[in-house]
A and B are shown apart, each in its own frame.
Chain A
Amino acid sequence: MIWEVFRQEREGQPFQHGGSLEAPNREFAEAYAVEFYGRRAESVALWIVPRDAILEIEDPYVADVFDRDYRRVDGYSLKVKLKDARERAGTA
């Protein structure tokens, strides 16, 4: 059984993927995770997740068939709009 281990380096920081390990049950997974990611005080907390519990989506990009660049911020020329707005407000 494969387990994915996420580690938190310091309190308040996001958990980041540390790696994966093979272990037959939770107890072994805990022992090995502590051995690999905890014994040198490199983590303040660990998340150990069975790989099966992770919902993986491959190729999550949904193709833009139509031209809808107005849905993206780069569809706007913010620079020009800001300039106009500032002029109107008299702060330019």
Chain B
Amino acid sequence: MSAQGPPSPAVEAVLAFADDELVLGWRDSEWTGIAPFLEEDVAFSSIAQGEIGHARALYELAAGVLGGDADALAFDREPGEYRCAPFVELQLVDDWAATIARHWLYETADSVRVAELVDSDWPELAGLAAKMDREEAYHRMHAQMWADRLRESAERDRFEGKVAELWPYALGLLEPGQRDRLAELVGREPVDAVERGAHTEGFAELHGEMTMVRRSVAGARW
């Protein structure tokens, strides 16, 4: 790390954010081709790509300090080195209500996280956060319209049950000081969070899939 580089906790936070976006983008893209209907398939795939685009920008920012490049940070680390929250690792691909519950909680949590980063004293990070927020506005609108739709439907209880199940995971996305704000936004009481650090059971397999091409052909470009 360069002497003028921002302090390490800021880089750690950027990496954790990047890992969240990469892994969630990957999980969401598992719906491509099998989403509830064609229009949603395209829209949700596009959102998944949006998250991965944000991950790349954040990795590039971190790579500027740590060295290497975005691909190396995204795909060359060991599973234990990833800092993503267990929340984004959960594989929910057969359950649309749970997927929307996570999408809605994630986008709401992201709005809290991004709002703080916009004021970061790391100018490149503040600029990137502002840029991301413009795209996240569309993600939030999409998440909200689906949450509203499911709450007005016969699936209401099932959806609320999934939100309740995922709530401790969602809290783990944010720093402890940001959690009350999230609780306020989603209208829930804070509980013990499922914290970053340990990975879920499915993460090793997901990591294997994500890094497969990179491992088979080192330095491949296309």
Contact = CB atoms under 8 A, between A and B. Distances in A.
Contact of A27 (B37, B138, B145): B145
A85 interface: no
A36 B138 CA distance: 13
B149 interface: yes
Nearest to B37: A22
Contacts of B145: 27-28, 31
Q: Which of the four size classes fits the interface of chain B? A: 10 to 19
Nearest to B146: A28
Contacts, number: 29
Contact of A34 (B38, B40, B138): B138
A23 to B, nearest CB: 6
Nearest to A22: B39
Contacts of A23: 39
B142 A31 contact: yes
Of B39, B40, B149, most buried by chain A (CB within 10 Å of CB) is: B39
Interface string A23-36: 11101100110111
Interface of B is mostly: helix
Nearest to A29: B39
B141 A35 contact: no
B37 A35 contact: no
B104 to A, nearest CB: 14
B155 to A, nearest CB: 13
A36 B42 CA distance: 8
Nearest to B40: A32
B43 interface: yes
A24 B149 contact: yes
Contacts of B141: 31
Contacts of A22: 37-39
B30 to A, nearest CB: 19
Nearest to B39: A32
B39 A39 contact: no
Given A24-B149, A27-B145, A28-B145, A35 B42 contact: yes
B42 A28 contact: no
B147 to A, nearest CB: 12
B204 to A, nearest CB: 34
Interface in B24-62: 37-40, 42-43, 46
21 contacts: A21-B39, A22-B37, A23-B39, A27-B145, A27-B148, A28-B39, A28-B145, A28-B149, A31-B141, A31-B142, A31-B145, A32-B39, A32-B40, A32-B43, A34-B138, A35-B39, A35-B43, A35-B46, A36-B39, A36-B42, A39-B46
Interface of B: 37-40, 42-43, 46, 138, 141-142, 145, 148-149
Interface of A: 21-25, 27-28, 31-32, 34-36, 39
